[in-house]
Each structure stands twice: as C-alpha cells, then as structure tokens.
Amino acid sequence: MPPGVRPPRPPLEPPRESQPRKGGTTAGEGQEGGFPPERGFMCGIVGYIGFRNATDVLIDGLRRLEYRGYDSAGVAVKTPQGLRVVKRSGKLSALEAALKEEKLEGPLGIGHTRWATHGAPTDPNAHPHTTEDGRIAVIHNGIIENYLELKEALKARGHRFSSDTDSEVLAHLIEEKYRGDLFEALREALKEVRGAYAVVAVHQDHEEIVAARTVSPLVVGLGEGEHFLASDVPALLPYTRKVIFLHDGDVARITREGVEIKDLSGNPLFREAVEVDWSLEAAEKGGFPHYMLKEIYEQPWVLENTLGGRLVEEEGDVDLGLELDPLEVDRVHVVACGTAAYAGLYGKYLLEALARVPVEWDVASEYRYRDPVVDERTLAIAISQSGETIDTLEGLREARRRGARTLGVVNAKGSSLTREVEAVLYIHAGPEIGVASTKAYMAMLAAMAMLALRFGRARGTLGKEEAQALIRELKKLPRLVEEVLEKRPLIAHIAEKYHQAQDFLFLGRHVQVPTAYEGALKLKEISYIHAEAYPAGEMKHGPIALIDEHLPVVVLATQGPLYEKTLANIQEVRARGGKVIAIATEGDEEIRKLAQDVLYVPQVHPLLAPMVSVVPLQLLAYEVAVLLGRDVDQPRNLAKSVTVE
Ligand code: G6P
C-alpha cells in the first residue's frame, strides 16, 4: 500500500435482501453447447506439504479458488498405503462425498479443479493424472500444444493412457525422465513440451512437491515446517501471507524445510518472498449473499484506497510515484480486455480531454494482430485486474517489441503484467472474486482519471485551478458512491419490472459510452439477457429498428455538455414505444416526463459521472440475475482470469 493510503474499512453491514429469490435455472452448473477449447486456463491448483492432513488443506484451498470456474476436481495424497488419487466430475461437493467413502490421510498432497478443454469433464479426465503404476501424480493448468505428437510417441514406447487430456502426457513424460530425482525429471520433461502450463507433480518415494510455470500463474506459500502451492493467493490466506510468485520458466522443489527454484536450464534462481496484505476476511464474502454484491458495496472504500495519498490538492496535481515522464510521450495506445477495456475507453476520453494527447484504444485481441503503428514516443497502457490476461499481455509485448514505453494499470500485485512493464499504477481494489468485475472497474476509472490529470498538468494542458476543482470532485466520490448504493431497493424494483425482457439496449454519450458498454456487459454476463450498448447518437443508424414496447432502453442521461442531445435520443425511443430507464442527475425533474423509470445519481463533475452512474447498472444486473436464479458469482462459460488466447 502506498504511504498515506488508509487500510480498508471492515465490510459494510450486508443490506437486507430486497427481493426474494425466485426459482429458475441453476445456470452455471454444467455447460451448454460444448466446451470452448480456448478457455482452458482457469483451473485451480493447490499443493501442501507439512504436518496437517493434506486433504483438508487441499479441499479448503480449492474451495477458495472456485471463482475461477471448473467442472471436475481431484486430489492426490501420499498416504501410508502409497500415493492415492480421488477425482470426480462436477462440483467439489461430489469430490468431498467420494472422500467420505475413501478417506485419504497424509501430510503431502496436490489438488486440482479442472475446466474442461481437451476431453469432456468426466472422472477419468479430471486431474490428478498418474502413471500406470500410480507412483507419479500430476496436475496441470494450461494447454500442451504438442501433446498429440508427444502422446503418439509415448504410446509407441509402451505407455498406456487413461484419459483424453493433454495433461496426462506430462505424467508419462516425467516418468520416462525419472532417474531418482523428481525435480530433474520435471525439468527434463518440460524441455520437450510446447505450450503454457502450471504443472505440479508428486512421487510416491519423495517427500516433496515439484512445480513449474510458463504463462499460468503459481504462487508458493511459506509456512513454518509446512509449505503451500496455489494458482492464486486466496487459497493460501488461511495459512500464510508470505508468498513467492513463480516467474515464467521457473521450476520449484518444495519440501517441509524450504523452496528451491531453478530455471529450465538448471541454473539456481533467487525469488524474493513478499507479504500480501489481503486479509482472509477481505477474500471471503463478509456476510453478503454473493461476492459480486459484496464487491459492489466495497466500492466507496476501494475508491478511497485508489485515490488515497495520491491527490495533492494544493498543487492541483496527483502523485502517482511513476518514473514515467509524460513529456516523453506523443501518443497513447490503450490495450485491455472485457471490463478493463471499457475502463480504458474511459481513459481515452479523459486523456484526450485533459492532456490533449492522442489516444488509440483497442481490445487487446485486436491490437496484438493489427500491426499497430508504434514508436518510442508511444506509451502503451495495459489495464488488467488480474495482470494475467494473455491477450492483454501479448498486446503489451507487441507494443514493447515495436519500441513503445509501457505502463500497467493493475490490481494483482506481483502478477505477470507488473513484471513486464516499465511502470505500474496499482489500482488497489483488493481481491475481486466475483467473475463479473465491479470494484476493479471503479478503481480503474479512478486510476485513469488520475493519470489523465497528471498528464494534463505535466503537458500544460490542464490549469491548476481546473485540476484542483477536479481533485475536490474526486475526493467526494467515495461518499457519492455510498449514496447511490442506498438506492438498491428502487433498483430492485426496476429489476422486478423488466427482468423478463429478452433484450436490453444501453445508450450513452462521451464518457458515458464506456458506462453504457459496461452496463450491458454486466447484464449479459450474469443474467444471460442479450444486451447491447451504443453511443446514443449512433442509435438511429441501426438499433432504432429494434425499439418497441418490449425493449427496455437504459439511457445514461446525466448532466453535461451533451445532455440535451441525449434527451433528444430519449424522445426518439419514446416515439417508438420503447421503455426508457434513465440514469439522471439528482434534481433533474424534466426527465421524469420522458422516462418510465428514473434512477438518480448525485451531481458530480461531468467527466467523473461514470463513477456514480455505473453503480446502478451493476446493481440492476445483479438484481435481474438473482431474480432469474442465475449463478451470479460464477456465470456459465465465463472465467475470472483468461490466460489463454
Ligand atoms: C475476463 C473476465 C472479465 C475481465 C476480463 C479482463 O473476461 O471475465 O471480468 O474484465 O477477463 O480481465 P483482467 O484481469 O485483464 O482485467
């Protein structure tokens, strides 16, 4: 935490549920329409060696990683009877039921939750995978690109496979390389592997866990006489805050006594241990029915965290502690995915408005392949909650290869992105567990506003007084967002009215265009209702054809220079029988005459209106999803961290 940043407040009192939950599909359990092969990296990994019963630690850790999405789970534990594996398709409860039948007890084990890619989510395809004699067990996240080739060769050499996964080749390959040292066997095996992986292996005869990563994250947790391994920090928090983030190409040997790390060529490496300041409570639901709702309610203090200690009102400036000199930058390229991309679009509006620097904005999957024009006076800004999104990382790498300066706007400390950029602007949103991003978006908006302010001041395009006025408004935001949260009962009422709709349209102008995109994204992600967003002025060039009495249209109509234009768009919707839900500024009575429903948000500087306006849209999506009985925190087909293309 930077100096001066206040520690997070304890979680707010959970509000009363304002709507009874109704029946509906339990979407999110299981899959529909097959398994998208490109989303294979969301699996969870946990490893334990120490003095506790490994099975308990593994199940507990896997539960804390459930948000990553999975469709089968398994553990391998070194018991007095040898290395034993239990694995089941379905949720962790199925694995737990199986473990009641077949108790696995022992102080060393590995556990995995799998998101199916190669092979359906069946019991045999669940991890861990073992060699035929059951002496080596392996778990893996990622994709082994040359697995078919490897599998054919292994089969030809007499190995028998018991799953359809790419991961199983690792077990057999390690076995072939094994000459008494498991760590060396893993290192040798990986030399033949192409692809991305976090891989963890154990051997019946060794009191150690070996692990390696390339692309997929892995964290070692350090204890006293015990050590842990996980694909993400929340799994470790009940046991330790002292962690080592493994880097790409690292191979680690973890024993009760310590951790040894080498590169793939066998050179010893030193990786510093860091203290993570996430409390366990912060990573859990804190009494709310869903992580997403908790995270929406955390936004006031998240804003305080993001802004805290950085606003220097007397000077009309912000102190971001960045080495980067804005005067060395002639243009900015913003790259990100999903919600982070919309925060980037907001950043474009602000950087152009306040700093008069030309900004190109792309979703990262386009940027990395569109042959962008970059020079050494281009600043590439990659925005990411996880810091692990592969398209964002590759977009950034592409810009860097072409000579760009680089800045990461990131939440997860120590993540891959933070290690690859010249400068990092942490957003300090704390752990975000709900798959649909809310508080990280808020923190990203605040970070981009501060960045634009800094650039404007440095480039002389933003006067001191104007900057001071903006800073005063920024300081009000935590309180204003709190005010919006109090409107939840009204938002729940609106959700009740419209939750049966088949489609929604979201409209906004200028800085509210990204808000419209984000509102539509939240709704479709968690309620599965089709939602589209458009710049309001573009509506008449297509989406207007959709408007009838069945289409709710959410219009961002807050006060600002384009307010009148937006009102005209509302009139166009009304003239065609559309239903308007307006997000308007408090005190705007006029709009009541035009919109069926009005959600008021507090008055704030027009450039900062997105921070107060996105909150009712998050709550609307949440309430609609709850009414429809959706799996809010783990919506179907989505994952929190998409580390594969
Ligand atoms: C996934 C998540 C989104 C997120 C996006 C980018 O699609 O489901 O919520 O916005 O990835 O993630 P990042 O970690 O880079 O912000």
The token duo for 191 is: 């030399």
Alpha carbon distances (Å) from 548 to 279, 501, 505, 551: 49, 12, 11, 6
pLDDT of 217 reads 81
How far out from the chain centre does Cα 290 lie? 16
Q: Phi and psi dihedrals of 248, rounded to 5?
A: -55, 135
At residue 443, does pLDDT exceed 70? yes
**Which residue among 262, 439, 522, 640 is the active-site one?**
640
DSSP 256: S
Residue nearest to atom 2 of ligand 1 (CA): 640
Digit-coded pLDDT (tens) for 155-192: 999 999 999 998 999 999 999 999 999 999 999 999 99
pLDDT of 117 reads 65
Q: What percent of the chain has pLDDT over 90?
A: 79
Give the Cα separation of 299 and 305 in Å (integer): 10
- Ligand 1: atom nearest CA of 337 is 6
Give the Cα separation of 526 and 630 in Å (integer): 7
Torsion of CA 340, 564, 616, 473, to 10 degrees: 70
Residue 134 pLDDT level (bands cut at 50, 70, 90): very high
- Cα–ligand 1 centroid distance for 365 (angstroms): 13
DSSP 21: P
List all residues 6 or more positions away from 447 whose beta carbon is below 8 Å from its beta carbon. Answer: 306, 409, 425, 427
Digit-coded pLDDT (tens) for 92-107: 999 999 999 999 999 9
At residue 212, does pLDDT exceed 90? yes
Pocket-forming residues, ligand 1, beta carbon under 6 Å? 337-340, 384-386, 389, 392, 435-437, 638-642
- Ligand 1: atom nearest CA of 392 is 15
**Which residue among 43, 87, 337, 579 is the active-site one?**
43
pLDDT of 41 reads 38
Neighbours of 314 (CB within 10 A): 8
* 337 classed as catalytic: no
pLDDT of 465 reads 98
* Nearest residue to 291 (alpha-carbon basis) of 11, 591, 558, 645: 11
At residue 501, does pLDDT exceed 60? yes
* Rg (the chain; Cα; Å): 25
Positive or negative: CA dihedral 588, 592, 595, 601: positive
Give the Cα separation of 102 and 213 in Å (integer): 31
Beta bridge partner(s), residue 227: 49, 222
* Nearest residue to 615 (alpha-carbon basis) of 522, 507, 498: 522
Residue 234 pLDDT level (bands cut at 50, 70, 90): confident
Alpha carbon distances (Å) from 449 to 397, 467, 556, 605: 24, 11, 19, 12
* 43 classed as catalytic: yes
Strand ranges inside 433-517, DSSP E: 503-508
pLDDT of 42 reads 56
pLDDT of 40 reads 33
- Cα–ligand 1 centroid distance for 562 (angstroms): 30
Give the Cα separation of 282 and 154 in Å (integer): 46
* Nearest residue to 140 (alpha-carbon basis) of 131, 130, 127: 127
Beta bridge partner(s), residue 264: none
pTM: 0.71
* Ligand 1 pocket: which of 41, 68, 296, 337 to mutate (most atoms within 8 A of CB): 337
Give the Cα separation of 581 and 599 in Å (integer): 7
* Nearest residue to 315 (alpha-carbon basis) of 463, 475, 450: 463
Digit-coded pLDDT (tens) for 416-435: 999 999 999 999 898 898 99
Residue 586 pLDDT level (bands cut at 50, 70, 90): very high
pLDDT of 642 reads 83
pLDDT of 269 reads 96
Average pLDDT over the chain reads: 90
Angle at alpha carbon of residue 552, lines to 548 and 557, rounded to 5°: 115
Per-residue 3-state assignment (H helix, E strand, C coil) for 101-121 = HCCCCCCEEEEEEECCCCCCC
Beta bridge partner(s), residue 506: 533, 554
Positive or negative: CA dihedral 119, 121, 127, 132: negative
pLDDT of 643 reads 77
- Cα–ligand 1 centroid distance for 641 (angstroms): 6
pLDDT of 453 reads 98
Alpha carbon distances (Å) from 340 to 308, 357, 532, 640: 21, 20, 18, 12
Digit-coded pLDDT (tens) for 527-551: 999 999 999 999 999 999 999 999 9
How far out from the chain centre does Cα 221 lie? 21
* Over residues 298-302, mean pLDDT: 90
- Cα–ligand 1 centroid distance for 336 (angstroms): 9
Residue nearest to atom 7 of ligand 1 (CA): 338
pLDDT of 121 reads 84
At residue 133, does pLDDT exceed 80? yes
At residue 8, does pLDDT exceed 90? no
- Cα–ligand 1 centroid distance for 170 (angstroms): 29
Backbone dihedral region for residue 269 (phi beyond 0: left; psi -120 to 50: alpha; all else: beta): beta
